[in-house]
């Protein structure tokens, strides 16, 4: 979490540990950087004690009426880093992109499976007439997508599994040109650029004896490869 600006997405289904992962990222910033962090949450799950950073937490329903409403107030507060609990609608996404464009680091969550699908979800939220503009904005401000699942281990308990997309030159071109169906293959072939492919991660967990092949198949992008 050494970034100073741009958009970072943490994605996954309900119960995948997105809130815990984001909390760890915020706490890392809190302990290591002098920043003003503002969170917009539904509800507040972790209460932070300001350390090196000043952390201001806001809760949906108590401090703001919608995430879009909360983001409008953020512009007046002028934090360096903003956590958006969820980007559910075009107005919220557009405001988050603008914040990321104007020198803020924006951390946000989406209920999507896989890094590539997360990019498509953002673009598809908008009417067709706006999608080209959103693709351009996203290609410029997106820093990365971390997609997380929690899967049952053979020995009991759960293990986190990640897919990571980094907005490389190739990824930015794909987003801008609307070729999102190529994202998955680009992640697979770009592990040297710190990207992590979900199916490769699942295969590694099978080899380690952590999860069963059946569990991997149920969550893989290409189940027939297992």
Order of all β-strands in the sheet with 81-84: 54-59, 36-41, 81-84, 105-110, 6-11, 142-152, 158-166
* Residue 215 domain flag: no
pLDDT, tens digit (0-9, with 9 covering 90-100), for 37-88: 999 999 999 999 999 999 999 999 999 999 999 999 998 898 999 999 989 8
* Residue 10 domain flag: yes
* Residue 225 domain flag: no
Confidence label for 188 from pLDDT (cuts 50, 70 and 90): very high
**What pLDDT is stored for residue 2 in this prediction?**
80
Residue range of the domain that includes 180: 6-197
Q: What is the CATH number of the domain that holds 148?
A: 3.40.50.300
* Residue 180 domain flag: yes
Q: Decide: residue 11, CB within 10 A, 0-12 exposed, 13-18 middle, 19+ buried.
A: buried
**What pLDDT is stored for residue 78 in this prediction?**
84
* Residue 211 domain flag: no
* Residue 222 domain flag: no
What does pTM read for this prediction? 0.95
Domain count, the chain: 1
């Amino acid at each position: 979490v050494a970034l100073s600006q741009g958009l970072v997405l943490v994605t996954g289904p309900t119960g995948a540990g997105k809130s815990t992962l984001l909390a760890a990222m915020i706490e890392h910033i809190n302990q290591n950087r002098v920043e003003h962090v503002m969170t917009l949450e539904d509800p507040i799950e972790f209460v932070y004690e300001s350390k090196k950073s000043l952390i201001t937490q806001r809760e949906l329903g108590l401090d703001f009426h919608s995430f879009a409403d909360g983001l409008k107030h953020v512009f007046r507060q002028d934090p360096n880093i903003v956590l958006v609990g969820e980007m559910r609608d075009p107005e919220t996404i557009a405001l988050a992109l603008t914040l990321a464009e104007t020198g803020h680091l924006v951390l946000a969550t989406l209920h999507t499976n896989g890094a590539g699908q997360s990019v498509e979800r953002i673009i598809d939220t908008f009417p067709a007439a706006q999608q080209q503009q959103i693709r351009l904005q996203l290609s410029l401000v997106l820093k990365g997508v971390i997609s997380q699942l929690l899967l049952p281990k053979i020995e009991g308990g759960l293990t986190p599994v990640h897919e990571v997309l980094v907005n490389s030159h190739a990824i930015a071109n794909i987003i801008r040109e609307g070729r999102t169906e190529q994202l998955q293959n680009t992640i697979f072939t770009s592990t040297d650029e710190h990207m992590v492919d979900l199916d490769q991660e699942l295969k590694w967990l099978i080899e380690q004896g952590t999860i069963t092949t059946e569990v991997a198949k149920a969550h893989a992008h290409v189940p027939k490869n297992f």
